[in-house]
Structure 1
Amino acid sequence: MSKAKFSKLLFAMMLVLLLVLAACSGGSDDAEGDGGGDSGDSGSEENNDSEEADGEIYDIADFSPSKEGEAMDGGELNFGLVSDTVFAGTLNFNFYSDVYDSEVIDWFDEALLEVDDTFTYTQEGAAQFEVNEEGNEFTFTIRDEVNWHDGEPVTAEDWAFAIEVIADPDYDGPRYGDVVNLVGAEEYHDGEADSIEGLEIIDDKTLKMTFKQATPSLLSGGIWSYALPKHIFEDIPVADMSSSDAVRENPIGIGPFKVESITPGESVTYTKNEDYWRGEPSLDKVTLKVIAPQTVVQALETGEVDMVDSFPTDQYPDVVDSLTNVDFLGRLDRSYSYVGFKLGTWDDENGKVDMDLENSKVGDVELRRAMWYAVDNDAVGERFYNGLRWNATTLMPSFYEIYHDDSIETPTYDPDMANQILDEAGYEDVDGDGIRENPDGEELVLNYATMEGGDTAEPLANYYIQSWEQVGIKVEKIDGRLLEFNDFYDRIGQQGNDDPDIDVYSAAWSVGTDVDPTGLWGPNVIYNFTRWEDEENTRLLEEGVSPEAMDLEYRQEVYSEWQEYMVEQVPVFPTVYRAELAPVNERVVNWDIRQEGQEILRYEVGVTQDEPVLP
């Protein structure tokens, strides 16, 4: 397919997208990355009613997503990574697995392909491409000026090498699902082939990829576009790569800044990459440091940091009038919080979910449905977040405006309905203590896992526990406490080791530019922490990326059906959609949190004076 024909095809496909996006009212969009925790804010334990929050209710549509201006030459910027834990330090896009590491990597590395504001690949990135008539064969050409930080050119071999590593049976990261559509990737992964048939290196800068089937996802984030410097990694065994110095201590990339030094888990110092392919960055230096949610306001007030990646929304009402040295940017976040149910384990040998409803305490869908009806997420959004989070309905967040189906009827707060469902399903209070036993008359106590993070984490956990207790379901915090971020994700199965004592958990997802939800809820992905799957779910996920789904209306229908099916089956239920707030010191200009294709790029970010503005 010629570039001209491809452009016409894209125009036809995206026209509807553009019309819908243009019609949205005032809100802003953006996000990035993979897993993220459901950290909280403030509130009391007596919050089981639906009264409005004390104080003003805010609307994300009232915030600007960007701050532009004329930067001085040079200067240094201090960036705060808000977290109550250290970052893991897996500092390479091919191996990382949590959102904090992604924030660190974003300053020094980037994808070879760029998307526009409809999440469709453009020709403006570090690599350009052509597509054949069938839509399953892409030929990429990497720009001559794109180099690694050590001066070596980025080659087609580097890109192919990254994919070969991910498909290697000894690879210990979470990205295999992102390359499995390549012809020959499965055979290579299973040891049946010595190479990946669908990768062909044409010359130093040109790589051809052939996919098993053309899907709409191939145009919107469905191609693995992060290279790996072969001249650094080729002598490291694949099983050792993620823990090597090349990832942990001396990472390199192709982005606007180079890593100068790392204090493991705590901070990273970057210097400008004068050879950056887009142009020389405005700033001379960036220092990233971890800032606890409890001290983020102080760090902004004193100028310890100029900006933070994400501000705890519970703190905004308390500081909006006093934190006068910063400007608050805001957007609709591409994420959602949810309550998940553990319905099986991960079969590491076969790389798939092993569902076992019979031996799961939450295997009964009616129990899960009643637990959804028992919580008031409208009240959560107002009382805990002053309107900056709001009731979620489906697992396709409203960020995906043309795919999110708000016509689907989903459970909302109704304790009478919860009690009715439990009564009819045989969950009765046999001994009169106010707590229901299971249908076999046995004690039912569910262990609940959630993580630390901000002032709201504990009271929010208590709210859910109390809400479930009010309908007779006994739920207790696992180990009697909230879990540290890394410990939480390890125990719910990020490494495949599911803690058998966990029955229910609260977490959140930051979703990608591609609307396809397979990477979170598919049967062969480790991120499906519920370990739930069935034939209908798999069928719908496959239909969503089928050749027929190249038709936008067909794909919308499939994903509407999938959203409704997940509401019926309740392996998880979404709790709140999110707004993101990002305060920036008044001296910072050209910082932008809009979605891809609209945002100001990091090499353009600058400052107007040497010292931060103080209140």
Structure 2
Amino acid sequence: MTSSKMAKLLFALMLFLLLAVVGCSSGDDDATGEDETPVEEEPGDEEEVEDDGIYSIDDFDPVKTNEGEAISGGILNFGLVSDTAFEGTLNYNFYSGNPDVQVINWFNESLLGIDENYNYTQDGAATFEVDEDEGSITFTIHEDLNWHDGEPVTAEDWAYAYEIVGHPDYEGVRYTQALSSVEGMPEYKTGEADSISGIEIIDEKTIKFTYHQFTPSLLASGVWAYPLAKHIFEDMEIGDMASSDAVRQNPIGYGPFVVESIVPGESVTFVKNEDYWRGEPNLDGVTLRVINPSVVVQELENGNIDVVDSFPTDQYPENAELANVEFLGGIDNAYTYIGFKFGSWDADAGEVVVDPDAKMADVELRRAMWHAVDNDTVGQRYYNGLRWNATTLIPPSHPDYHDDSIEAPLYDPAEAERILDEAGYEDLDGDGYREDPDGNELVINFASMSGGDIAEPLAQYYMQAWEAVGLNVQLVDGRLQEFNTFYDRVEADDPDIDIYQGAWGVGSDVDPSGLYGRTAAFNYTRFASERNDELLEEGLSEDAFDIAYRQQVYSEWQEYMVEQIPVFPTVYRAVLVPVNNRVHNYFIPQVPGLGVYRNEIALTQEEPLSVSDVD
């Protein structure tokens, strides 16, 4: 290693250690998210802090300890932690970002229940019968399930969601394996058929789906279980639905709360749905507000907010002893990652197009960039152990399928330099930066999101770490991108973006084809290969009903993605949720199988409970 490179490495490490002590919120947000219904577990011991200041997710419980007697009524104050407004596409069939789904989950929900193993149960608003020989599932919607305007939720509404999301004119991102596996859906999607042959409406509350490919995923998250109110949307053009008042200003659902008013991007006021099918909610309502990460602690201390969707884990050590809240925790079904751009999305064909000449097409360049960063230290220094080094693209939130035996590249800058040297990336002009193997200047354009004080130093750390091995990586436009702009540009395959830092909230089913399949709109890297196609197809095959077989397939897929590196995961994530002591029956929605529902949430007093009230 040259003296100049050594100096850069030392500078990067010093900068990293300096910035790591700055507490603030993360800059990553999930691109996806679904409402998952939980099963109750008994709370354990209070969290314990290790002597070295590093925490473990094992120190937390996912369900709130109830203190005192609950009252009837009251308003829960919910904080959506973000440095930007929520987009406001408030319908499961049209939304694309996690902030919007945090709003939707209060007034709508999946028709299907789910257990701790991510399998469908008979405890949801629809029950079902499976006919594996025929390759069909028949669903019966609860007789008392009504839309908030009093109209019944019908089988026709459920079929209508498939007809809209599967329509050639639909421009959203919800057309995935869950829909395309229905018999006749591919022909409907391409315009070759006017109807979907695999959908049969038996009566007002009963619907039957027949599949041309009956897969194990169908019994987890393989059914699109979010009906669309046909009586509201049927007179609209499909292209106008996502921007309509029925989505933006007066969204409708059948969940425990009803949207009363919206300040676009800022707040939502909900009142209870007295007709909720599980029973009338305990609360009178919920007030949701966007809370900037920089003031979330102050809002909690003052009792202005009872609970937030997710607490910035880097702020936890200084606030672990907040007297008026209890911190809940669980393993998030998400991971942060660095993605490499391989091509573009062909909207007409509905699949990715790989550019063999893409700047990041060389796997050795990608491998070196993985070796150059110390994600284990990132997790400890920036997140105090509440995020930790990630290895594969199936996170430990899916323990039956996450393969922790796979050896992923670890922090080794000397190995990164060796790989780059052997691959022909050399500093030819002595400026400290490597040219590409053809001798051309190599500038890698990096997109990263804003989102609190830690977002900038974290992005700078990665760039300094890559600079230390001779790579010139620069922020797109010289700055961080706010959430909505970031995903708009990444999704549009902006040619100014070569690599990006993002985060995925994975679905309840382990099938990764919705994020990495050739026909997945969420495949933002635009990576595709025949081997990837084969492995993803095998994971959905008839043989994969054998769990051991499916585990082996997804183990091979994880290893293949470590070899090919279309993205590399940086950290797995704990989710921390502080809950005010006046709140009863709260739970972490990301943790499946807890058996607590939003209609059961209650308060012990109407007035906010601040730190001063406890002290």
What TM-score do the two structures reach when normalised by structure 1? 0.90
Query: Is this contact kept in 1: 2:116–2:594, CA < 8 A?
Result: yes
Aligned ranges 1:453-472 → 2 under 5 Å: 453-472=451-470
The answer for the alignment partner of 2:568 in structure 1 is: 573
The answer for the alignment partner of 2:586 in structure 1 is: 591
Describe the SS at the equivalent of 1:106: helix
The answer for the alignment partner of 1:536 in structure 2 is: 531
* Counterpart-to-counterpart distance in 1, 2:133 and 2:518: 28
The answer for the alignment partner of 2:57 in structure 1 is: 60
The answer for the alignment partner of 1:611 in structure 2 is: 607
* Counterpart-to-counterpart distance in 1, 2:92 and 2:80: 18
The one of 435, 440, 443 equivalent to 1:442 is 440
* Counterpart-to-counterpart distance in 1, 2:55 and 2:551: 31
Aligned ranges 1:274-285 → 2 under 5 Å: 274-285=274-285
Query: Is this contact kept in 2: 1:135–1:214, CA < 8 A?
Result: no
Q: CA deviation at 1:48?
A: 4.6
Matched to 2:432, the amino acid is: G
Q: CA deviation at 1:601?
A: 0.5
Query: Is this contact kept in 2: 1:71–1:282, CA < 8 A?
Result: no
Describe the SS at the equivalent of 1:288: strand
* Counterpart-to-counterpart distance in 2, 1:51 and 1:278: 48
* Counterpart-to-counterpart distance in 1, 2:495 and 2:253: 39
Q: CA deviation at 1:71?
A: 2.0
Displacement over 4 Å in runs of 4+: 47-55
Query: Is this contact kept in 1: 2:76–2:286, CA < 8 A?
Result: yes
* Counterpart-to-counterpart distance in 1, 2:18 and 2:607: 45
Deviations 1:355-408 (A, max 9, x none): 1031x1111100000000000001100110111100000001111101111111
* Counterpart-to-counterpart distance in 2, 1:271 and 1:51: 43
* Counterpart-to-counterpart distance in 1, 2:78 and 2:14: 36
Matched to 1:543, the amino acid is: E
* Counterpart-to-counterpart distance in 1, 2:446 and 2:19: 26
* Counterpart-to-counterpart distance in 1, 2:542 and 2:587: 35
Query: Is this contact kept in 1: 2:19–2:457, CA < 8 A?
Result: no
Q: CA deviation at 1:91?
A: 0.4
Q: Percent identity?
A: 62
Matched to 1:405, the amino acid is: D
Q: CA deviation at 1:262?
A: 0.5
* Counterpart-to-counterpart distance in 2, 1:436 and 1:456: 29
RMSD, aligned α-carbons? 1.5
* Counterpart-to-counterpart distance in 1, 2:502 and 2:132: 42
User: Within the alignment, does 1:314 sit opposite 2:282 as a pair?
Assistant: no
The answer for the alignment partner of 1:424 in structure 2 is: 422
Query: Is this contact kept in 2: 1:373–1:415, CA < 8 A?
Result: yes
Query: Is this contact kept in 2: 1:50–1:376, CA < 8 A?
Result: no
Matched to 2:150, the amino acid is: G
The answer for the alignment partner of 2:109 in structure 1 is: 110
Q: CA deviation at 1:53?
A: 6.8
Q: CA deviation at 1:172?
A: 1.6
The answer for the alignment partner of 1:3 in structure 2 is: none
Matched to 1:112, the amino acid is: L
What TM-score do the two structures reach when normalised by structure 2? 0.90
Query: Is this contact kept in 2: 1:450–1:507, CA < 8 A?
Result: yes
Describe the SS at the equivalent of 2:14: coil
Q: CA deviation at 1:51?
A: 12
* Counterpart-to-counterpart distance in 1, 2:84 and 2:396: 29
Task: Mark the CA change 1:606 to 1:135 in structure 2 (over 3 Å): closer, same or farther.
Answer: farther
Moved more, 130-139 or 583-592: 130-139
User: Within the alignment, does 1:184 sit opposite 2:163 as a pair?
Assistant: no
Q: Structure 2 unaligned runs (5+)?
A: 1-11, 23-51
Q: CA deviation at 1:47?
A: 4.4
Task: Mark the CA change 1:269 to 1:50 in structure 2 (over 3 Å): closer, same or farther.
Answer: closer
The answer for the alignment partner of 1:353 in structure 2 is: 352
Matched to 2:60, the amino acid is: F
* Counterpart-to-counterpart distance in 1, 2:14 and 2:361: 30
The answer for the alignment partner of 1:163 in structure 2 is: 162
The answer for the alignment partner of 1:229 in structure 2 is: 229
* Counterpart-to-counterpart distance in 2, 1:173 and 1:546: 27
Q: CA deviation at 1:50?
A: 12
Deviations 1:312-369 (A, max 9, x none): 1111111223x211111111111000000111111112111011031x1111100000
* Counterpart-to-counterpart distance in 2, 1:102 and 1:163: 19
Query: Is this contact kept in 1: 2:128–2:140, CA < 8 A?
Result: yes
Moved more, 176-185 or 275-284: 176-185
Aligned residues: 567
Q: Structure 1 unaligned runs (5+)?
A: 1-43
The answer for the alignment partner of 1:211 in structure 2 is: 211
Query: Is this contact kept in 2: 1:81–1:100, CA < 8 A?
Result: yes
Query: Is this contact kept in 2: 1:521–1:528, CA < 8 A?
Result: yes
The answer for the alignment partner of 1:558 in structure 2 is: 553
Query: Is this contact kept in 2: 1:134–1:214, CA < 8 A?
Result: no
